[in-house]
Amino acid sequence: MSWESEGENSHFVFLDATNLRERTIYCDPDTMALSFGNKPKRNLHVEGKAAQSSPTSDTWLCVGKPHVFQKYQVSSPSRTSQTKTVQGQVVEADPTSGQIVYLVRGRRFYLTIAPTEAKDMADALSQLKTVSIDGEYRYDRIKRYYVKD
User: Residues 16-57: pLDDT tens digits?
Assistant: 778 888 888 888 878 777 777 777 666 677 778 888 888 877
Q: Starting at the edge strand that comes first in sequence, how are the strands of the sheet with 107-112 ordered?
A: 107-112, 99-104, 83-93, 131-140, 145-148
Residues 63 and 89 in one domain: no
| Number of other CB atoms surrounding residue 93 within 10 Å | 25
State the CATH number of the domain containing residue 131.
Answer: 2.40.50
Range of the domain at 50: 2-70
Q: Is the pTM of this model over 0.85?
A: no
* 114 and 141, same domain (yes or no): yes
Return the closest-CA partner of residue 34 out of 61, 13, 70, 6: 6
**CA dist., res. 141 & res. 101, Å (int):** 21
Number of domain units in the chain:
2
List, for residues 70-87, the tens digit of each pLDDT value.
777 666 666 556 688 999
Q: Are 99 and 122 in contact (CB under 8 A)?
A: no
